[in-house]
Amino acid sequence: KAGVTQTPRYLIKTRGQQVTLSCSPISGHRSVSWYQQTPGQGLQFLFEYFSETQRNKGNFPGRFSGRQFSNSRSEMNVSTLELGDSALYLCASSLGLVSIEAFFGQGTRLTVV
């Protein structure tokens, strides 16, 4: 079956702009989590959605937000972009409440100039 799909793969934005990233989970998976990966901080958890509700949130400013739709697809939005937001943004899907395995998409490489 199809894996996790993230769009776009690459994005260049200017400081101060906002950006929306998209994630389509594996069919049947209801949980979507977002992560930010940078060389200095590694992989860090942003937030997680299950059944259109945010269940967990990492330690990121309010400029980072997300949502999940009824078909489990998810979007994350970053407003007022800063240079430090340049990163690989990864989406992971899992079955849901009792699953212990997550499957990642290829990521969106965001560059803020």
Using CB under 8 A as the criterion, which residues of the chain lie in contact with another protein when the complex forms? 4, 6, 31, 33, 35, 42-45, 48, 50, 55-56, 58, 88, 90, 92, 94, 96-107, 109
Rounded least distance, CB 79 to another protein, Å: 23
Dihedral sign, CA of 94, 95, 100, 101?
negative
Q: Which is nearer to another protein, 76 or 90 (CB)?
A: 90
Rounded least distance, CB 60 to another protein, Å: 13
Strands, DSSP E only, in the chain?
A: 5-7, 10-13, 19-24, 31-38, 42-50, 53-57, 64-68, 74-78, 87-94, 103-104, 108-112
Q: Which is nearer to another protein, 6 or 24 (CB)?
A: 6
Rounded least distance, CB 34 to another protein, Å: 11
Q: How far apart, in whole angstroms, are the C-alpha atoms of residue 47 and residue 27?
A: 20
Q: How far apart, in whole angstroms, are the C-alpha atoms of residue 80 and residue 82?
A: 7
Task: Classify 84 as helix, strand or coil.
Answer: helix
Rounded least distance, CB 97 to another protein, Å: 6
Q: Which is nearer to another protein, 79 or 103 (CB)?
A: 103
Q: Which is nearer to another protein, 26 or 112 (CB)?
A: 26
